[in-house]
Amino acid sequence: MSRPLIYAANWKMHLGPAAARGFIERFQALTRPEEGRRLWFFPPAVSIAAVCEALDGRADAAVGAQNVHWEAKGAFTGELSLPLVTEVGARIALVGHSERRHLYGETDEQVGRKVGAVLKAGLTPLVCVGETLAERDAGRTEQVVVRQVDAFAERVRDWEPVVIAYEPVWAIGTGKTATPDDAAQVHQLIRFQLGRHGVDRRVPILYGGSVNQGNVLALLAREELDGVLVGGASLDPDGWAELVGLRG
Ligand code: PEP
């Protein structure tokens, strides 16, 4: 069997409950569970329950929240807590996506708190790290990614549920993708840094940033990649079914 791979779909602010249900019904008709392949869906929070229902307990699939607060309850208007998203079926939480970091000013400190809270709640954190174009051009990719990893690593006691996504900010939604070599190099760096934190298991590291049907095979040909996190190319059920079905 080839190595296990995770295909994560980040729908961002698209697909309300009716559209999300329609997506999953079509996707269900096009695909069957495959050994070693995990399918993760991150719908908008209002569609989490609809996606869970439409997946109907499908064993290879799981649903996640795109963002959570670290507090379990309280006066945090507009925020969602882990108990709330868990109640509607989320089992994973995306943490520190670059749009949260850069559009909403989420700090390394907040990302660390969220990771700690997700683990405490018994969910899987999918933690995103990645440099901006300016940071890359300034030769600071390594420094930034290491800082982002360090900021949440200190909150983790048990690494078993943790999954990381390397998403260079300049590649998200831009049509520019890191080359397989560039991606693999940063994945190696992240793994090396995890080793410095005493992590002795293979934490899955996904790549994200303009992944599509045309480039996914070349990326996944690098064994440093344990899957992909996909925005734009995950919004259409036929295209997503095709993408997750491509195996080298
Ligand atoms: C993302 O949202 O995490 C992402 C990688 O988006 P896109 O695939 O559209 O670049």
pLDDT tens, position by position, 120-152: 999 999 999 999 999 999 999 999 999 999 999
Q: Is the minimum distance from the CB of 211 to ligand 1 under 6 angstroms?
A: yes
Q: Is the minimum distance from the CB of 227 to ligand 1 under 6 angstroms?
A: no
Give, as one character, the DSSP assignment of residue 2.
Answer: P
- Per-residue pLDDT band at 248 (split at 50, 70, 90): low
On the question of pLDDT at 177 being above 90, the answer is: no
Would you call 187 a catalytic residue per the annotation? no
Q: Is 162 helix (H, G, I), strand (E, B) or coil?
A: coil
- pLDDT of 3 reads 83
Would you call 167 a catalytic residue per the annotation? yes
On the question of pLDDT at 58 being above 80, the answer is: yes
- Show the tokens assigned to 124: 């899987």
Give, as one character, the DSSP assignment of residue 198.
Answer: T
**What's the rounded Cα separation, in Å, for the pair 171 and 123?**
28
C-alpha dist (Å) from residue 111 to 21, 115, 150: 30, 6, 11
Averaged pLDDT for residues 142-166: 97
Averaged pLDDT for residues 236-246: 97
Nearest CA to ligand 1 atom 1: 231
Beta-bridge partners for 128: 165
C-alpha closest to that of 119 among 98, 91, 139:
91
Q: Is the minimum distance from the CB of 128 to ligand 1 under 6 angstroms?
A: no
Q: Is the minimum distance from the CB of 232 to ligand 1 under 6 angstroms?
A: yes
The active-site residue, picked from 99, 135, 167, 224, is 167
Q: Is the minimum distance from the CB of 169 to ligand 1 under 6 angstroms?
A: no
- Per-residue pLDDT band at 176 (split at 50, 70, 90): confident
- Per-residue pLDDT band at 1 (split at 50, 70, 90): low
Averaged pLDDT for residues 5-11: 98
In a 13 Å sphere around the CA of 17, the CA atoms on its Cβ side amount to 8
Q: How far apart are the first and last CA of the chain?
A: 12
pTM score > 0.85 for this model?
yes
Which atom of ligand 1 lies at the shortest distance from residue 234's CA? Answer: 8
**Rg of the chain on CA atoms, in Å:** 17
Nearest CA to ligand 1 atom 7: 231
- pLDDT of 173 reads 84
**What's the rounded Cα separation, in Å, for the pair 112 and 89?**
23
- pLDDT of 207 reads 97
C-alpha closest to that of 92 among 225, 204, 178, 196:
204
On the question of pLDDT at 229 being above 90, the answer is: yes
